[in-house]
Amino acid sequence: MTDLLKNFEGVIQPGSREARLISQLDSERIPKHVAIIMDGNGRWARQRDLPRVEGHRAGIESVKAAVEFSARLEIANLTLYAFSAENWKRPAEEVNTLWKLLRTYLRRELSTLKKHGIQFSAIGRISELPEHVQEELRVAERETIDNTRMHLIIALNYSGRLELVDAFNRIRQEGSPYPIGEEDIARTLYTAGLPDPDLLIRTSGEMRVSNFLLWQIAYSEIYVSEVLWPDFRGREFLEAIMAYQKR
């Protein structure tokens, strides 16, 4: 049994709500894969009369919190839905700002990811992203490929249906004469090799799956938080893990 509180020494105030939540968690039943639909950045900004991009900027801090708390809780895999294939319909300025924020995040956080043994990968139709974004992703993937403590996966230009289309086409290209089995699909998905998510979190109260990991969430527990993504920090993350353990 790991003493999870030990992993938070120096970052969590003793006696705080966070500390109490951590001490109540069962270290033997930590999910192996948590997936998050990060929603509500726009609403968060609107509530403050700010441009939408300020919601995304604040959302980066929540990304950092989710990564840090996952690593300290020894969650092996964390997948974040950052840009859906439908998100191209947003104004070009907003889309460009998202790429800039992603670049800033990767540049600033790469050394932290490396220091803590976190592998980084991107999933989705990555070849359709601007070349400078692809290059940034390649660098982060290459430099973290040997890390084994945790795996951070960011879904970009991602669509669960297109992921299945891509998988079926890959299987067809292989030209196998045998009927397609579940294991053929699992091994040709972008998430090949990853366990399916035990827990899917969605923020900002929406009760939808929004084309995210359609195949992989067949048996996942779903936790919807009313909190908007920029306000979803360590405490809210711990509450989600606690709710999962109570099921």
Candidates 31, 40, 124, 197: give the one binding ligand FPP (CB under 6 A). Answer: 40
Task: Establish whether 196 is a catalytic residue.
Answer: no
Asked if 231 is an active-site residue, the reply is no
Contact in structure between 103 and 122 (CB atoms under 8 Å)? no
Binding residue for ligand FPP (CB under 6 A) from 102, 167, 238, 240? 102
Please tell me the distance from the alpha carbon of residue 111 to that of residue 142, in angstroms, as a whole number: 13
Question: Least separation, in Å, of the C-beta of 41 and ligand FPP?
Answer: 4
Q: What is the pairing mode between strands 199-202 and 33-37?
A: parallel
224/239 Cα distance (integer angstroms): 11
- Determine if 38 is a binding residue for ligand FPP (CB under 6 A): yes
Catalytic residue among 7, 26, 39, 231: 39
By CB under 6 A, residue 66 contacts ligand FPP: no
The count of residues interacting with ligand FPP (CB under 6 A) is 18
Residue corresponding to tokens 């086409």 = 169
Q: Which tokens hold the place of 123?
A: 């999933």
Give the Cα separation of 153 and 81 in Å (integer): 9
What is the sign, positive or negative, of the torsion defined by CA atoms of 105, 111, 113, 119? positive
60 binds ligand FPP (CB under 6 A): yes
Residue 42 near ligand FPP by CB under 6 A: yes
Note the residues at the interface with ligand FPP (CB under 6 A). Answer: 38-43, 56, 59-60, 63, 80, 82, 87, 98, 101-102, 105, 154
